[in-house]
Structure 1
Amino acid sequence: MVIEWLKLRVSPELREKFIQKDAEIWTSMLAAYPGFLGKEVWIDPERPTEVILIIRWASRDAWESVPAERLKQVEQQFTQEFGEQQQIIEAAEYQVRKFPLASS
């Protein structure tokens, strides 16, 4: 499994609207692609300007299978409906590794 990790800056008064629009536009589009396993939104009560998005993919190939043109279209739709009131301030990719428990 691969994790797409995004930290965004959003004004506190728009945070809930951002989360709703993200689910409505981005998450619904991503859910149509094989290999998309789910998405979580993390918020820190101590940092009301930050939103962290955790997107789970079955593999890096599944993540990269989303066409660039489709991503561009959805970004334009999101900007049209929400505006450019958010900024990605950090992005990362993680691989999830699971190991069997050692016998005692």
Structure 2
Amino acid sequence: MVIELLKCKVDPELRERYLQLDAEVWTKALAKCPGFLGKEVWLNPKEASEVILVIRWATKEQWKAIPEEFLLQVEKIFSQQMGQTYQIVESVEYQVYRDR
């Protein structure tokens, strides 16, 4: 399993709207992709502008096989509805270690 971790900075006053749209637009779109296992949203109780998205993929190959055009289209839909009120400030990949 591979973890895609995105750290986002969101206008605190619009955080609930961001979370709602993320679920409606991004999560629904990613759920259609082969290898998508699920997604969690982590909120920092000490920093209202910080939102962490933790996306689980079965394999790195499946994650990276998602067409760039698909991702750009989903981002376009999301940003049209959300405006420029957020920014991805960090994008990290982790591999889940399984003790054999």
**Count of residues in Structure 1 that have an aligned counterpart in Structure 2:** 100
Q: CA deviation at 1:75?
A: 0.7
Which amino acid in 1 is paired with 2:81?
E
1:13 aligns to what? 13
TM-score by length of 1: 0.93
Higher-Rg structure is 1
Match of 1:85 in 2: 85
Q: How far apart, CA to CA, are the structure 2 residues paired with 1:11 and 1:84?
A: 9
Aligned to 1:53: 53
Look up the equivalent residue of 1:30 and give its one-letter code.
L
% identical aligned pairs: 55
Q: CA deviation at 1:91?
A: 1.0
- Divergent runs of 4+, >2 A: none
Aligned to 2:72: 72
| Alignment gaps of 5+ in structure 2 | none
1:30-71 CA distance string (max 9 Å, x none): 000110000000001111010000000001011012110011
Gaps in structure 1 of 5+ consecutive residues: none
The CA distance in 2 between the partners of 1:84 and 1:28, in whole Å, is: 21
Aligned to 2:24: 24
Amino acid at match of 1:35: G
